[in-house]
């Protein structure tokens, strides 16, 4: 996951003006072009928000009775974090949350997606709850509501209590799943008088594969594929148990659903054949988690491909996993696969990504605005959902503080402008995207990259903890005010 390759430099190309005049195919009797039109914007009531996660921003890892998480241990393994930093201090959001909520209000956001640190509420994962930990989230939620900002809580954003990893192997055991259900019930019982929207697990696809397969993320385990598939199944089971717990213990009207970094499949060409191939691919490439949640079964193609490595499960578990959800949260950044139709296999073929494909300051973050159009469009059709939220979208940037103290992050503005234009295209066509959470509110601890990758609308000086608005904050504020992408 090291990202040491610098961004490729491209020569500026001069655009041709007056293209219609220069076009030799335009005859004297050619009909004048129709006047350009623009969609009026996003639907009325579209929810604009921003997002963070507990370990990435809170800091205060030894305060308020918080227990140890797998990331607290993992960051101390030499060589695991690119710049050697930790989340011990991070953004000091635990102490500076009022200041940070003022930044959210300044943007005009009406929602804030945050995550609850499981070891802050249950230091050992289970057993006696920590009243001091829950009290922090009570203060945070109350401050959000005082500022007219709706709290959207995520139950799990990767900071598993280390005690559960030590006792049960973490997500390798269904014991952890059951304990997660109990934790979800406790949170729902105590917070859903004010928190009306709850996400279960964030990015199972990431923390399972990177944490238990490749060993790149916490807990840093490298298991054979059979066990990785079982861990993924267990995470789906944990999701289902959490959904049931929120239903049973949450206040009336509480909504619940997953937030997943969907394995993105985009049609290489916008033709019916390619679109159909992308639809098949999106379902099959997400068969191990999202599809089993939404359909209650593993696809035949997935089970055939996994073979002897397929997860072991019961019909009772599948019923729990497929407990009905109220919405589908999708984290969308870049395409993993462009696909074309194929007469072999399941009916699609992924294409290799060319080395010359443009990307942002993170090599993995390919620039493909059409991604955020196709993903919710295809997902809504495949899984017949009428409520989709883009729970993460954004980009890292080579943010430089200029002598005047400003950060002119036009690269981030370029990315957001183009992605939001494609999202607006989707909603104009009736795709049921109800809201968008920009990642991230501010620069923070970016997992294995430490503090070296900056995704925020606000620049953070990690020595002084001073927050400074980037130019992209003004751009996003304008988008929210107009309820339109501004293209």
The annotated binding site is made up of 56, 157, 202, 333, 439, 446-447
Distance CA 103, CA 477 (A): 11
Residue from 330, 405, 422, 409 nearest 368 by CA? 422
Task: Specify the DSSP class assigned to residue 240.
Answer: H
Q: Give the CB-side neighbour count of residue 201, counting CA atoms within 13 A.
A: 29
Active site residue 63: no
Active site residue 273: no
* Burial class (CB within 10 angstroms; exposed 0-12, middle 13-18, buried 19+) of 114: buried
The single residue of 58, 279, 317, 392 carrying the catalytic annotation is 392
Residue 48 near residue 436 (C-beta atoms within 8 A): yes
Helices then strands (H, E): number in the chain? Answer: 17, 13
Task: Specify the DSSP class assigned to residue 209.
Answer: I
Query: Reduced to 3 states, what is the DSSP secondary structure of residue 272?
Result: helix
Query: Reduced to 3 states, what is the DSSP secondary structure of residue 48?
Result: strand
Which residues, in sequence order, are bridge partners of residue 113?
Answer: 51, 152
Structure tokens at 77: 């393994």
Residue from 418, 331, 293 nearest 53 by CA? 331
Q: In terms of C-beta distances under 8 Å and separation of at least 24 residues, what long-range contacts does 295-301 make, across chains too?
A: 295/322, 295/383, 296/321, 296/322, 297/322, 301/345, 301/346
Q: Residues 6 or more apart from 166 whose CB is under 8 A from it?
A: none
Distance CA 326, CA 339 (A): 30
The single residue of 150, 203, 260, 279 carrying the catalytic annotation is 203
Distance CA 138, CA 194 (A): 9
Query: Could you tell me which residues are annotated as the binding site for substrate?
Result: 56, 157, 202, 333, 439, 446-447
Distance CA 62, CA 27 (A): 75
Distance CA 167, CA 323 (A): 28
Residue from 420, 419, 479 nearest 110 by CA? 479
Respond yes or no on whether the N-terminal peptide bond of residue 318 is cis (omega within 30° of 0).
no
Residue 106 near residue 148 (C-beta atoms within 8 A): no
* Burial class (CB within 10 angstroms; exposed 0-12, middle 13-18, buried 19+) of 40: exposed
Residues labelled as active-site residues: 203, 392
């Amino acid at each position: 996951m090291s990202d040491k390759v610098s961004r490729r430099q491209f020569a500026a190309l001069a655009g041709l003006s007056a293209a219609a005049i220069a076009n030799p195919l335009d005859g004297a009797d050619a009909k004048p072009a129709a006047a350009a039109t623009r969609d009026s914007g996003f639907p009325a009531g579209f929810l604009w928000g921003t997002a963070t996660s507990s370990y990435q921003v809170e800091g205060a890892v030894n305060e308020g009775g918080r227990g140890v998480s797998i990331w607290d241990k993992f960051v101390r393994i030499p060589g695991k974090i690119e710049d050697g930093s930790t989340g011990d201090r991070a953004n000091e959001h635990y102490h500076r949350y009022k200041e940070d909520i003022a930044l959210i209000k300044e943007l005009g956001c009406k929602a804030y997606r945050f995550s609850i640190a499981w070891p802050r509420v249950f230091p050992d994962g289970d057993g006696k709850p920590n009243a001091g930990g829950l009290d922090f989230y009570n203060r945070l939620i109350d401050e959000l509501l005082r500022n007219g900002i709706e709290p959207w809580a995520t139950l799990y954003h990767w900071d598993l209590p280390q005690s559960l990893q030590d006792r049960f192997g973490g997500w390798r055991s269904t014991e952890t799943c059951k304990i997660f259900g109990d934790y979800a019930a406790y949170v729902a019982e105590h917070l859903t008088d004010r928190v009306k929207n709850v996400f279960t697990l964030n990015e199972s696809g990431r923390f399972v594969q990177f944490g238990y397969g490749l060993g790149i993320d916490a807990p840093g385990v490298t298991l054979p594929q059979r066990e990785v598939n079982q861990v993924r199944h267990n995470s789906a089971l944990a999701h289902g148990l959490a959904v049931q717990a929120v239903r049973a213990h949450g206040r009336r009207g509480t909504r619940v659903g997953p937030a997943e970094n969907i394995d993105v499949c985009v049609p290489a060409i916008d033709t019916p054949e390619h679109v159909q191939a992308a639809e098949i691919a999106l379902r099959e490439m997400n068969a191990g988690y999202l599809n089993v949640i939404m359909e209650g079964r593993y696809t035949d193609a997935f089970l055939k491909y996994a073979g002897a490595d397929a997860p072991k499960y019961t019909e009772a578990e599948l019923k729990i996993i497929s407990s009905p959800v109220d919405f589908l949260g999708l984290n969308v950044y870049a395409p993993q696969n462009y696909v074309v139709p194929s007469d072999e296999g399941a009916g699609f073929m992924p294409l290799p990504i060319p080395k010359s494909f443009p990307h942002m300051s993170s090599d993995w973050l390919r620039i493909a605005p059409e991604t955020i159009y196709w993903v919710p469009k295809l997902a809504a059709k495949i899984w017949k959902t009428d409520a989709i939220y883009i729970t993460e979208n954004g980009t890292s940037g080579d943010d430089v503080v200029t002598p005047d103290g400003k950060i002119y992050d036009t690269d981030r503005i370029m990315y957001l402008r183009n992605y939001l234009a494609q999202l607006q295209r989707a909603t104009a066509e009736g795709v049921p995207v109800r809201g968008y959470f920009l990642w991230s509110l501010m620069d923070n601890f970016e997992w294995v990259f430490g503090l070296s990758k900056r995704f925020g609308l606000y620049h953070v000086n990690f020595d002084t903890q001073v927050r400074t608005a980037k130019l992209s904050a003004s751009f996003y504020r304008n988008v929210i005010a107009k309820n339109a992408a501004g293209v």
